[in-house]
Amino acid sequence: MKEKLIGDKIREARRAAGLTQWQLANRIFVSESYIALIESNKRNPSINVLTKIAEELGLTTDHIVLDTSSRSDESFTVEWQNLIHGRKPEEIRSALKMVESYLQCLDELKG
């Protein structure tokens, strides 16, 4: 399987976030044409711009460059908070027990 280039990963993440190139460019204070060049793999972003893109898209720079974990810990934390928001304490405890049980099974499968 062909490894995705940095620009391909950024374009995919931007689209998944529902942003246009113009919107992303405005949020990180670069030109839309610069984003287009990055996404077409004609230019590599500077470390500074790469960091801003990753933060804006809820990714880690490692994911973009090395293809590791795709989202930052903060985005997972927000997602978990959204899942439990408005739930009763007993519902949260029950869900926590299910997640713990699931993770324990995964650990046992890994051996």
Residue keyed to tokens 């997640």: 99
**Residue ranges per structural domain of the chain:** 6-66, 73-110
Cα gap 89→94, rounded to integer Å: 9
Return the percentage of the chain with pLDDT > 70, whole number.
87
Closest alpha carbon to 98 in 83, 86, 85 = 83
pLDDT single digits (tens) 11-27: 999 998 999 999 999 99
DSSP-derived letter for residue 5 is: P
Residue 75 has what pLDDT? Answer: 65
- Name the CATH superfamily, with its identifier, for domain 6-66: lambda repressor-like DNA-binding domains (1.10.260.40)
